[in-house]
Copies of this chain bind each other. A is one copy, B any other.
Amino acid sequence: MKRKIDLWIVGSVGIDDIKTTKTSRKNLLGGSVPYAVAAASLYAKTGAVAVVGSDFPKAFDRRLNRLGVNLDGIQRAEGKTFRWACEYDANMIERTTLSTELGVFADFKPELPDNYRNAPFVMLGNIQPELQSYVLDQASGAKFVALDTMNLWIETALPALKKVMSRVDLLSVNDGEARLLTGKWNLLDCAKAIHKFGPKHVLIKKGEHGALLFSQDEIFIVPAFPVKKLVDPTGAGDSYAGAMMGYLAKQGRVDRKTLRHALVNAAVVASFGVEGFSIECFEKLTAAAVKSRAKELTGMMTV
């Protein structure tokens, strides 16, 4: 019998070329899913739902497998894997997309393997809202669903986005997306408006400035862990969300205390992630290192 899946995450898997002012790296394992599942797998049995092309290196499968990720949900299609190239400015704040080739991702239609359908935790990564709804329809055992999205869907597919938003427990966006989605500037107003769309929990991420979780009348503010050497910020939001969901899935419950611990862990895991390219830092990350940095971050927040 296949091992039970605690959590699955749908999104993109790609091959990235990334330039920073210090280093240039080609053919990296990228896309939202590898970052998210690598982070989540630190805590819980996680499945990946995505599509790759016939050019997808077997070595990438092996690396994800070694992290404990279940790949039953990865579709193998004829054609090229999604490719993306970007270049960062000197301070790693602004980035320019140099090229995007959708490849097989253009026709992606997520289908859940049978062994994923009863998973209690679900992370709908940033894909078309119609597809998020489509895959959520298959998730008969879902108990806690988180949703990520982006400016593109807010601007071009708002009705579909609102539909899927009304079905989820947590929306994860950055501050700019929260403002675009609601037309409000003040983040308290943004969160209030998003609560009305459905999600009980609204996570607003602010990169180096940390994140705010708005759960009905309660707010939790969690800083980013101050990183000594920022190597590549790509995927930080994905590993943040992945770690949060993995932590919740491991605990098997979503209460105030557990959510707060989940976010501290998310901040810590994301901070490790940006200390290297792709998922490289997760491949040498130990539970002890996460625990130690979580203690450090908690110390920085304690009055």
Decide yes or no whether A260 CB sits under 8 A from chain B.
yes
Contact present for B226 and A212 (CB under 8 Å):
yes
Give every chain B residue within 8 A of A71 (Cβ-Cβ).
Answer: none
Q: Would you call A226 and B230 a contact (CB within 8 A)?
A: no
Stretch from A43-51, A166-174, A182-190 at the B interface: A182-190
**B223 with A221: CB separation less than 8 A:** yes
How many angstroms between the C-alpha atoms of A221 and B226 in the bound complex? 10
Stretch from A77-85, A156-164, A246-254, A295-303 that touches the partner: A295-303
Across-interface contacts of A209 in B (CB, < 8 A): 206, 209-210
Partner of A303, one of B186, B206, B219, B261: B261
| Cβ–Cβ contact A185 & B91, under 8 A | yes
Return A225 CB to nearest CB of chain B, in Å.
9
Report A's interface with B, CB cutoff 8 A: 90-91, 185-188, 206, 209-210, 212, 219-221, 223, 226-228, 230, 260-261, 264, 298, 300-303
Can you list 26 A-B contacts with CB-CB less than 8 angstroms, sorted by A residue number?
A90-B185, A91-B185, A186-B227, A186-B228, A186-B230, A187-B226, A188-B226, A188-B227, A206-B209, A209-B210, A210-B210, A210-B221, A210-B223, A212-B226, A219-B226, A221-B223, A221-B301, A223-B223, A260-B302, A261-B303, A264-B303, A298-B303, A301-B301, A301-B302, A301-B303, A302-B302
